[in-house]
Every structure is written in C-alpha cells, then in structure tokens.
Amino acid sequence: MAENTTEKFWEMVDDFGTCMVVTQDGGSLRARPMAPRVSKERRQILFLTDRNSHKVDEIEAKPEVAITFSKHGEYVSASGRASISTSRALVESIWDEEAEAWMPQGKDDPSVVVLVVDPDEAEIWDVTSNKIKQAFEFAKAYLGDKDRPDTTKHEKIAL
C-alpha cells in the first residue's frame, strides 16, 4: 500500500493508550489489555511485561499475535510476530511512571522484559461520518437503497 497509508497506521496506533494483545494458548486464543509503546523508528509496538507471565510462555511457544485498538470511531487491528527482549536499554527507553505503578520491582529487575511486536499487516476502520450522515446511511440500507451503510473508511495495509 501507499507510504501515506503505512504512516497513517503508525500515527493512529501511537494515539492509543491501551490495546488488546491476543496470544495463542494451546488451541485457544487469549486477549488481554496492555499499554503499547510505539516505536515508529523500529516499526515495532512494544510492551513492558513480567518475564514470568503466561503471555511470555505463549509467545515463546507460538509467536504469532494479533493486537487491536479501539476508541471514538477509530479501530485498528494488526497481526505479526512477537518476541521477548531482555535488553535493559530497551526497557529503559520505554519505562515511565505508568510502568512503575504496574511493576513496582523497578526497571532494573531482570523479570521486567519487553514484548516486541513486529506487525506485518494491519487494517484500519475510521468512522468518517457524523451522526446525521450515519443515520441517513443506515436508513438507505434499511430501505434497500444500499447493501450496507457507508459510514466507515476501511483500509488493509501491508507493513
């Protein structure tokens, strides 16, 4: 896809404070909310986590993950491969007060690691219309003038 679409993805995900990280636990999928730290330079989405958590074991067994973001009419999903980094410099670079609250053992504790997601594809849904246009579009779809309401811009992106 076009470079501007890829940049739109990185700008959108940088604006979310929380996302759902979906891992594989045997034959089941598990989703959990996590605080992303977006590295546009590295083209990665980073999360601080505890080395002893189940998600680390799940990622080491099956590194394919999905992440989803949602707020105020903006929706983003991405899939890719995850890995665990024990780099103290990487931990230091994304450590903040929020991390301190969740991980009182501190950034220097070896149990604090970084879950690194290298996304390879994404989808964006951006609700582009106001409430009045949305109501009109739903009415047209209901009356049979359209297959479905046209209220959202949807794009697939190869990262």
The identity of residue 39, as a single letter, is S
The domains of the chain are located at: 3-158
Sign, Cα dihedral of 141, 146, 147, 148:
negative
pLDDT value for 1? 41
DSSP 52: T
Q: What does the pLDDT look like over 46-93, one tens digit per residue? A: 999 999 999 999 999 999 999 999 988 889 999 999 999 999 999 999
CATH number of 3-158: 2.30.110.10
Mean pLDDT of 147-153: 56
